[in-house]
Structure 1
Amino acid sequence: MTHPPRSLCFIALLAAALSGCGKDEAAASNRGKDGANAPVIVTTTVLQPKSFADAIVAIGTARARDSITVTAKVSEIVQAVHFDSGDEVGKGAVLVTLSGQQQQAALASAEAAAKEAQQLYARQQELAQQQLIATSQLDTQRATRDQAQAQVNQMRAQLGDRSIRAPFGGVLGIRQVSPGALITPGTAIATLDDLSHMYVDFPVPEAALSQLAIGQQVFGRTAAYPDARLVGTVTTVEARVDPTTRSVTVRADFPNDERKLRPGMLVNIELQRAQRTALLLPEISVVQVGDRTFVYRVKPDGSVEQVDVQIGTRTDGQAEILKGIRAGDRIVVDGTGKLRPGAKISETAAAAAAAPAAKG
């Protein structure tokens, strides 16, 4: 039996292998084309006007309604301290008593001189009525009496400066003095803050100035009490706009019965605006690439196109659309990361089931 040459067998096997590879590549190419043309599964929504009430967000600083650092008016030794750090005191409460022995002695001397001057004036007044002394002599004694009484008043005022009192009710800070210490004018004794109401000052852009009004409701949150939503009202809008920041300072009053606000705290402020009608989209439907902000709009043929939009306020997962699209446009919400301009889309089963229910 005659066998074909080995070279001929090799050539035949090679041709068969090449033929098989060609078929596989063609099949893979066909599968790739089918995959490229397959619609992308997404969810969409039809843009419609909705009622919308957003808020101006800012960071403010809490201040006590009344707040001072208690100091002395004179240089003197502390005789007694009548409070402890953190005490709550009423208006007029004596906080510190300073040594006033010299003033007390001077007051006693002035009161004695005033009493003597008054008695002498009374006797001369009787003599003047009997025309036994000249009227000018009575006038001189009257002036002496008045001068002595003025001296008494001055000594009493100086002695009063030795009792340092709370000018208003509030909470005292850490005590800074002790009995026996020498204090001078300006020496800090303690801070005093009226915490029953707190002011929060915060900046608002000048563009929102027309939306501010006295009595507007304000909500605040602090890092110390993140779950507590504090409620206040706008009491003052600054008369001037800051030329550097182009903002105006707004002051809100917060009742503080639970003492959740302290002077110096940072407060996250939400100032409620008036309700209005706006076009809203879920934030996940808005794509940001570099300086571009766009959405995918569905065309009548089932493909999508990129449309540049201008975004207004963002709140609670919603973005306000100012320009670019209009009511009635169908916009892709979920699945934007898989899309390219011209791509075909298909609604998810959940979205398709929800559509008839929404219509019904």
Structure 2
Amino acid sequence: MLSRYRAGVAAAGLAIALAGCDRAAHPAANAAPIPVTVQTVATQSWNTTVQSIATVRARESVALTAAVSDVVDKVYFESGDDVKAGQLLVTLRGNSQQAALNAAQATYEEADQLYRRQQELIGQQLVAKSTVDTQRALRDAAMARVAQMRSDIGDREVRAPFAGVLGIRQISPGSLVTASTVIATLDDIERMHVDFQVPEAQLGLVKLGNEVSGVAAAFPGERFRGEVSAIDSRVDENTRAVTVRADFANPARRLRPGMLLDVRLYQPERQALVIPEIAVVQVGRESFVYRVKADDSVERVDVRTGERRDGKVEILDGIKAGERIVVDGTGKLRPGLKVRGEADGGAAPAPRPRAAQ
């Protein structure tokens, strides 16, 4: 009787030991499902982009200077004024030039009157034709002198070469200016040129009319939009990059010449597999995701990634549309573990394909 009892106890102990060994050998099979966020992979619209740092330039820009050296007589503008093309901005004194013009005008009028009298007398053969020709030449020379003096006086007027916005005024009445003295800057900022560099390897992605967007540090969260208007004819030998110019409308005048923009050049939209960037696990040079199988266990799948943008990444190879992957909670997973998934956003459990019978 005692021997039977001992045999029973030994058999029970052996069964418990075998069960413990089985649990140790298969921990994943016996562990509780791990809560994770699951998403079904699907295609969506996607743009390939080229990113660069750009410099903003005015469509037309000039530093206004005088053509000659003289003293400022009058200033007809204030800093920041909007001006029209041809508008008078500054006049220089030019007293001596005005006096010389008056003298030249008087000389011309006298020569012209004498020429007219000789024209009347030549018909009566009272004046030789050569004398009339000489007087005509003198009159024409006097007229040229008048034109020259008017041009000299015109050089003492500074006018706006195009419509735009003036910068800070740098001179005052009575200032002596020379040909190198900057009176003010003038910029046409209704539309802006945005110049940026594109690597030679990405030159094939750039085409006239491509959409370009930019963000300025001065206006965080605001995105400016334009399109490619010109591509330089040469690739820089030192940087192996080409300069691309985009035109940006600037009705609110928020963009200013000299600003830096973080720009992105967009390609036409296409359909691509795009998943949240946090779903991709990076170990060294390897990238992989955890795919959820039909029995709710996970497996590691190596993927080849493309462009990353705004917290998302394009998947070029490794997974297919319709498959389920773990988005959040990858840090506590290893192949074979079972998961309890909720749809991305925590709204409802993700749809799960039925196991094959």
Is contact 1:54–1:315 with CA below 8 Å preserved after alignment?
no
- Where 2:183 maps in the other structure, the secondary structure is strand
**What is the CA–CA distance in structure 2 between the aligned matches of 1:328 and 1:87, rounded to whole Å?**
61
5+ long unaligned stretches in structure 2: 1-17
Of Structure 1 and Structure 2, the greater helix share is in 1
Matched-pair contact (CA < 8 Å) for 1:41–1:345:
no
CA distance in 1, matches of 2:291, 2:343: 20
Structure 1 residue corresponding to 2:101, chosen from 100, 103, 107: 107
Structure 1, 68-77 or 222-231: larger mean CA deviation: 222-231
Task: Identify the range of structure 1 (149-158 vs 84-93) with the bigger mean alpha-carbon deviation.
Answer: 84-93
Q: Does residue 85 of structure 2 align to residue 91 of structure 1?
A: yes
Q: Structure 1: which amino acid aligns with 2:328?
A: D
CA spacing shift, 1:242–1:310, aligned 2, 3 Å: farther
CA contact (8 A) 1:103 1:158 kept: yes
Partner of 2:65: 71
Shift of 1:224: 1.9
Which region of structure 1 is more displaced relative to structure 2, 347-356 or 182-191?
Answer: 347-356
Q: Does 1:348 align with 2:330?
A: no
- Work out the percentage of aligned pairs sharing the same amino acid: 55
CA distance in 2: counterparts of 1:36 and 1:328, whole angstroms: 26
Secondary structure of 1:191 counterpart? strand
Measured in 2, the distance between the counterparts of 1:112 and 1:104 equals 13
**Whole-Å Cα distance in 2 between the matches of residues 233 and 50 of structure 1?**
24
Q: Out of 130, 134, 140, which is 1:136 matched to?
A: 130
Map Cα deviations across residues 40-94 of structure 1 (whole Å, 9 max, x no partner). Answer: 4433444343332343333221111111111111111111222221222222222
Look up the equivalent residue of 1:320 and give its one-letter code.
Answer: E
5 Å matches for 1:198-209? 198-209=192-203
- Counterpart CA distance in 2 for 1:160 and 1:193 is 23
Query: 2:308 is matched by which residue type in structure 1?
Result: R
**Equivalent residue number for residue 226 of structure 1:** 220
CA contact (8 A) 2:305 2:314 kept: yes
Runs of 5+ unmatched residues, structure 1 = 1-25
Secondary structure of residue in 1 paired with 2:91: strand
**Inter-partner Cα distance in structure 2 for 1:227 and 1:50:** 24
Q: Deviations over 1:239-259 (max 9, x none)?
A: 223343333322222222211
- The answer to whether 1:126 aligns with 2:120 is yes
In the alignment of these two chains, the number of paired residues is 334
2:211 maps to what in 1? 217
What's 2:152 paired with?
Answer: 158
| 1:350/1:173 CA distance change after superposition, 3 Å | closer
TM-score, structure 2 normalization: 0.82
- Residues 348 and 356 of structure 1, relative CA distance in 2, 3 Å threshold: closer
Q: Which moved more, 1:320-329 or 1:161-170?
A: 320-329
Shift of 1:107: 0.3
Q: 1:15 aligns to what?
A: none
On the 8 A contact 2:38/2:350 being kept in 1, the answer is no
Assess if the C-alpha contact under 8 Å between 2:296 and 2:340 holds in 1. Answer: no
Cα 1:243–1:321 change in 2 (3 A) is farther
| Corresponding residue for residue 3 of structure 2 | none
Closer, same or farther in 2 for the Cα pair 1:84/1:161, shift >3 Å?
same
Shift of 1:274: 0.7
